[in-house]
Amino acid sequence: MTQHLALTAILVPDYDAGIAFFVEQMGFTLFEDTDLGDGKRWVRVGPDGAQTAFLLAKADGPEQRAAIGNQGGGRVWLFLQTDDFARDHAAMRAKGVVFEETPRDEPYGQVAVFRDPFGNRWDLIQFKG
């Protein structure tokens, strides 16, 4: 049996705001945007070629709205792997992605932390070897 993680949900305040960031600034592909009725949509975005995509989940109610940007409890919880750190770091900065730090070299690779506009902390990372 073959398995892989297909989707992970990420809370957003609004579907269109999520699409704007992930597609226009991050360069992800909009795989699907299906109206489910009652203000709900099935919105999938992700990097081209990735097996795992994000399901943009519009926060519903005060508890979910309070969790927007804090799904990782303040830690980096999303790791965007690249095969060309310099290229992607420059492209993301040019599109307005805000990095919290300058790139750094670690024993495992080159990395820099950024936040999405919703508050989630990410690593842009290129692993060594």
Q: Are 120 and 91 part of one and the same domain?
A: yes
In a 3-state reduction of DSSP, which class is residue 22?
helix
Of 68, 94, 110, the position where a domain reaches its end is: 68
Rounded CA-CA distance 57/40 in Å is 9
Percent of the chain with pLDDT over 90: 98
Q: Are 64 and 105 part of one and the same domain?
A: no
Print the domain residue range for 11.
1-68
Amino acid present at 63: E
How many domains does one find in the chain? 2
Give the pLDDT score at 86.
98
Give the pLDDT score at 28.
97
Provide the mean pLDDT of the chain.
97
Q: Are 81 and 64 part of one and the same domain?
A: no
Q: Are 63 and 81 part of one and the same domain?
A: no
- DSSP code of 51? S
Q: Are 62 and 84 part of one and the same domain?
A: no
Is residue 45 classed exposed, middle or buried when 0-12, 13-18 and 19+ CB atoms within 10 A define those classes?
Answer: buried
Amino acid present at 11: L
Residue 1 in this model has a pLDDT that exceeds 90? no
Q: Are 52 and 100 part of one and the same domain?
A: no
